[in-house]
Amino acid sequence: MLNKLTKRTAALLGTALALMLSACDTTRAPSASTTTDAVTTQARPKPTTTTGTKWVETFDRLDTSRWVVSSWGGFWQQSGLSGTFTPQNAAVNGKGQLVLTLKIEACAAGLCAQAGELQSQQRMGFGRYTYRMRAASTSSDPAVTGTAQPGNISGAFSYYQDSTTEIDVEIEGHRSSTLNAAVWKGLDTKSYAVLPTGSNLAQGFHDYTYEWRSGRITYFIDGVKVWETTQNVPQASAHLMLNVWPTLTNAWGGEAKPGTVYMLVDSVTFEPF
């Protein structure tokens, strides 16, 4: 959703944050249906294997034949906020969930963040994608309800090559009852929707689904259709991305403060069409 992943660069983020911003690849916000971003590519692993078979992840373990754990300078770099994606901030908890941790501390530069991110080794194309997850909160325990905090984005999305394909599910820390959905077909072309849900998405697990066909993308929350677009539908297969990362503006994600939040992912399912 709108904001996922070309969030992968300071330049990108600067533009998106100014408008507003994830990932998704996306620090971008619902400010216009079409936008142009300047981008500087950062060194992130770029696996190229593709798959057209059903794909299910239940996170009983962290399978590195399936996932790449990110370790690179975050795209959010700006005055007052720095940091990196850190491998230890992406781990399974022994209860069947992936835990992505965002830790923010005061530092000489203002705030320094250690964030968590995973991307799939394989690329996947048209099909049904379902992420069962709980947006970032103060609780790392799936059985304990935490509270949402401002200053972060929880993201689950498809992403490839500077947003040649980007299909976003994003939840802002300071607006945790709203789902941001966005599809990108290149850095200068996107469609998006801002979807109030009536539920605090940081206090329970929900199924976020998008069905990606050649001519349209349809979004569902817990099986209920919430948005569909036939514009700017990407065509290139893409990696699955899961991340939580910091923000410093009320326009997108909220203003971060020192503290730690945890995004939990219970499962990911891909079913090809």
Query: Annotated catalytic sites, by residue?
Result: 166, 170
Distance separating alpha carbons of residues 147 and 127, to the nearest angstrom: 33
Among candidates 221, 220, 215, 229, which has minimal Cα distance to 126? 215
As a 3-state breakdown, the chain gives helix, strand, coil percent values, each rounded to 5, of 5, 50, 45
Q: What is the DSSP letter of 65?
A: T
Please answer whether residues 171 and 177 qualify as being in contact, where contact means their C-beta atoms are separated by less than 8 angstroms: no
Please answer whether residues 146 and 97 qualify as being in contact, where contact means their C-beta atoms are separated by less than 8 angstroms: no
DSSP 3-state assignment of 183?
strand
Q: What is the DSSP letter of 96?
A: S
Across 59-94, b (16+ Cβ under 10 Å) vs e yields beeeeeeebbbbbebbbbbbeebbbbbbeebbbbee
Pairing between strand 190-196 and 206-212?
A: unpaired
Among candidates 178, 150, 121, 155, which has minimal Cα distance to 263? 155
Distance separating alpha carbons of residues 202 and 171, to the nearest angstrom: 9
